[in-house]
Amino acid sequence: MQNLLHNLNSEQLAAVTLPAQSALILAGAGSGKTRVLTTRIAWLIQTGQISPQSVLAVTFTNKSAKEMLTRLSAMLPINTRGMWVGTFHGLCNRLLRAHHKDAGLPQTFQILDSSDQLSFIKRLLKANNIDDEKFPPRTLMYFINGAKDKGLRAAAVDAYDDTDRKMVALYDLYDAQCQREGVVDFAELLLRTYELLSRNQPLREHYQSRFKHILVDEFQDTNDLQYKWLKLMAGNQAAVFAVGDDDQSIYAFRGANVGNMSAFEREFQVKNLIKLEQNYRSHGHILDTANALIEHNSKRLGKNLRTDAGHGELVRISESSSDIQEAQWIVEEAKNLMREGSSGSEIAILYRSNAQSRVLEHALFTAGLPYRVYGGQRYFERAEIKHAIAYMQLMDNPHNDSAFLRVVNFPTRGIGARSLEQLQDAAKQYGISLYAAVPYVSGKAGTSLGNFVKLIEGARFETHNLPLPEMVKVVLDISTLLIHYQTEKEGADRIENLEQLINAATLFVSEEGYGHAAPALAGPPSQLAASLLSAPDGIQIIDADAALPTVMSPLSAFLSHASLEAGDNQAQAGQDALQLMTVHAAKGLEFDAVFITGLEEGLFPHENSAKEETGVEEERRLMYVAITRARKRLYITFSQTRMLHGQIRYNTRSRFFDEMPEESLKWLSPKVQASWFGNKKSAWDDAPESGVNAIAQGFAKNQGGSGWRIGQGVMHAKFGEGVIVNIEGSGTNARAHINFGQFGMKLLDLSIAKLDKI
Active site residues: 33-34, 217-218, 248, 629
Residues forming beta bridges with residue 666, ordered by sequence position: 316
Residue pair 528/573 in contact by the 8 Å Cβ criterion: no
- Does 523 belong to an annotated binding site? no
Please report whether residue 429 would count as binding ligand ATP according to CB under 6 A.
no
Please report whether residue 397 would count as binding ligand ATP according to CB under 6 A.
no
Please report whether residue 32 would count as binding ligand ATP according to CB under 6 A.
yes
Closer residue to Mg ion, CB minimum distance, 58 or 187: 58
Among 22, 35, 326, 386, binds ligand ATP (CB under 6 A): 35
What is the distance between the alpha carbons of residues 66 and 51, in angstroms, rounded to a whole number? 20
Residue count at the site for ligand ATP (CB under 6 A)?
A: 19
CB of 633 to ligand ATP, least distance (A): 16
Estimate to the nearest angstrom the gap between the alpha carbon of 664 and the chain centroid: 32
Residues 86-105, buried b or exposed e (16+ Cβ, 10 A)? bbbbbbbbbbbbbbbebbeb
Closer residue to ligand ATP, CB minimum distance, 8 or 481: 8
Say which DSSP state 50 is in.
Answer: S
Sign of CA dihedral 736, 741, 743, 744: positive
Sole window of 24-32, 448-456, 523-531, 656-664 interacting with ligand ATP (rule: CB under 6 A): 24-32
Among 4, 15, 26, 33, binds ligand ATP (CB under 6 A): 33
Closer residue to Mg ion, CB minimum distance, 286 or 644: 286
Greatest alpha-carbon pair distance for the chain in Å reads 91
Interaction partner, residue 7 (Mg ion, ligand ATP, none; CB < 5-8 Å by kind): ligand ATP
Among 22, 31, 325, 703, binds ligand ATP (CB under 6 A): 31
Interaction partner, residue 83 (ligand ATP, Mg ion, none; CB < 5-8 Å by kind): none
Sole window of 26-34, 38-46, 404-412, 736-744 interacting with Mg ion (rule: CB under 5 A): 26-34
Task: Name 661's Cβ contacts closer than 8 Å, sequence gap at least 6.
Answer: 288, 289, 292
- Does 450 belong to an annotated binding site? no
CB of 709 to ligand ATP, least distance (A): 49
Sole window of 6-14, 101-109, 322-330, 332-340 interacting with ligand ATP (rule: CB under 6 A): 6-14
Site for ligand ATP, residues 260 to 299, rule: CB under 6 A: 280-281
Interaction partner, residue 8 (ligand ATP, Mg ion, none; CB < 5-8 Å by kind): ligand ATP
Site for ligand ATP, residues 625 to 664, rule: CB under 6 A: 628
Site for Mg ion, residues 574 to 633, rule: CB under 5 A: 588
Parallel, antiparallel, or unpaired for β 110-111 and 84-86? unpaired
Please report whether residue 673 would count as binding Mg ion according to CB under 5 A.
no
Among 34, 328, 419, 579, binds ligand ATP (CB under 6 A): 34
Using left for φ > 0, alpha for ψ between -120 and 50, and beta otherwise, residue 257 falls in beta
- Does 33 belong to an annotated binding site? yes
Interaction partner, residue 12 (ligand ATP, Mg ion, none; CB < 5-8 Å by kind): ligand ATP
Interaction partner, residue 245 (Mg ion, ligand ATP, none; CB < 5-8 Å by kind): ligand ATP
Q: Provide, for the chain, the percentages of residues in helix, strand and coil under a 3-state DSSP scheme, each rounded to the nearest 5.
A: 50, 15, 35
Among 12, 34, 248, 641, binds Mg ion (CB under 5 A): 34
Q: What residue is closest to Mg ion based on CB? A: 34
Residue pair 243/27 in contact by the 8 Å Cβ criterion: yes
Among 16, 22, 30, 105, binds ligand ATP (CB under 6 A): 30
Residue count at the site for Mg ion (CB under 5 A)?
A: 3
Instruction: Classify 153 as helix, strand or coil.
Output: coil
What is the distance between the alpha carbons of residues 68 and 514, in angstroms, rounded to a whole number? 21
Parallel, antiparallel, or unpaired for β 183-184 and 213-216? unpaired
Interaction partner, residue 440 (ligand ATP, Mg ion, none; CB < 5-8 Å by kind): none
What is the distance between the alpha carbons of residues 732 and 735, in angstroms, rounded to a whole number? 9
For the chain, report the end-to-end CA distance as a whole number of angstroms: 80
Vertex 59, ends 58 and 63: CA angle to 5°?
Answer: 140
Please report whether residue 8 would count as binding ligand ATP according to CB under 6 A.
yes
From residue 688, alpha-carbon distances to 301, 318, 655, 739 in Å are 41, 10, 24, 26
Closer residue to Mg ion, CB minimum distance, 36 or 154: 36
Sole window of 4-12, 152-160, 184-192, 698-706 interacting with ligand ATP (rule: CB under 6 A): 4-12
CB of 294 to ligand ATP, least distance (A): 12
Please report whether residue 9 would count as binding ligand ATP according to CB under 6 A.
yes
Closer residue to Mg ion, CB minimum distance, 561 or 629: 629
Closer residue to Mg ion, CB minimum distance, 86 or 398: 86
Interaction partner, residue 31 (Mg ion, ligand ATP, none; CB < 5-8 Å by kind): ligand ATP
What is the distance between the alpha carbons of residues 231 and 208, in angstroms, rounded to a whole number? 10
Using alpha carbons, select from 441, 349, 331, 435 the residue that is nearest to residue 391: 435
Residue pair 246/252 in contact by the 8 Å Cβ criterion: no
* SS3 of 337-394: HHHCCCCHHHEEEEECCHHHHHHHHHHHHHHCCCEEECCCCCHHHCHHHHHHHHHHHH
- Does 683 belong to an annotated binding site? no
Q: Which amino acid is at 351?
A: Y
- Does 32 belong to an annotated binding site? yes
What is the distance between the alpha carbons of residues 153 and 168, in angstroms, rounded to a whole number? 9
CB of 280 to ligand ATP, least distance (A): 3
- Does 513 belong to an annotated binding site? no
Residue pair 41/310 in contact by the 8 Å Cβ criterion: no
What is the distance between the alpha carbons of residues 474 and 673, in angstroms, rounded to a whole number? 57
Task: Name 363's Cβ contacts closer than 8 Å, sequence gap at least 6.
Answer: 324, 327, 328, 330, 331
Q: Which helix (H) or strand (E) holds 28?
A: none
Using alpha carbons, select from 578, 645, 556, 509 the residue that is nearest to residue 93: 556
Please report whether residue 422 would count as binding ligand ATP according to CB under 6 A.
no
Sole window of 25-33, 133-141, 385-393, 413-421 interacting with Mg ion (rule: CB under 5 A): 25-33
- Does 27 belong to an annotated binding site? yes
What is the distance between the alpha carbons of residues 127 and 394, in angstroms, rounded to a whole number? 21
Q: Which helix (H) or strand (E) holds 465?
A: none
Please report whether residue 356 would count as binding ligand ATP according to CB under 6 A.
no
Say how many residues make up the chain.
758
Closer residue to Mg ion, CB minimum distance, 34 or 322: 34
Please report whether residue 29 would count as binding ligand ATP according to CB under 6 A.
yes
- Does 518 belong to an annotated binding site? no
Site string for ligand ATP, 237-266 (x = CB under 6 A): --------x--x------------------
Sole window of 27-35, 130-138, 184-192, 439-447 interacting with ligand ATP (rule: CB under 6 A): 27-35
Residues forming beta bridges with residue 322, ordered by sequence position: 641
What is the distance between the alpha carbons of residues 178 and 175, in angstroms, rounded to a whole number? 5
Sites of contact with Mg ion (CB under 5 A)? 33-34, 588
Sites of contact with ligand ATP (CB under 6 A)? 7-9, 12, 27, 29-35, 245, 248, 280-281, 588, 590, 628
> Would you list which residues are annotated within the binding site?
27-34
> Would you list which residues are annotated within the binding site for ATP?
27-34
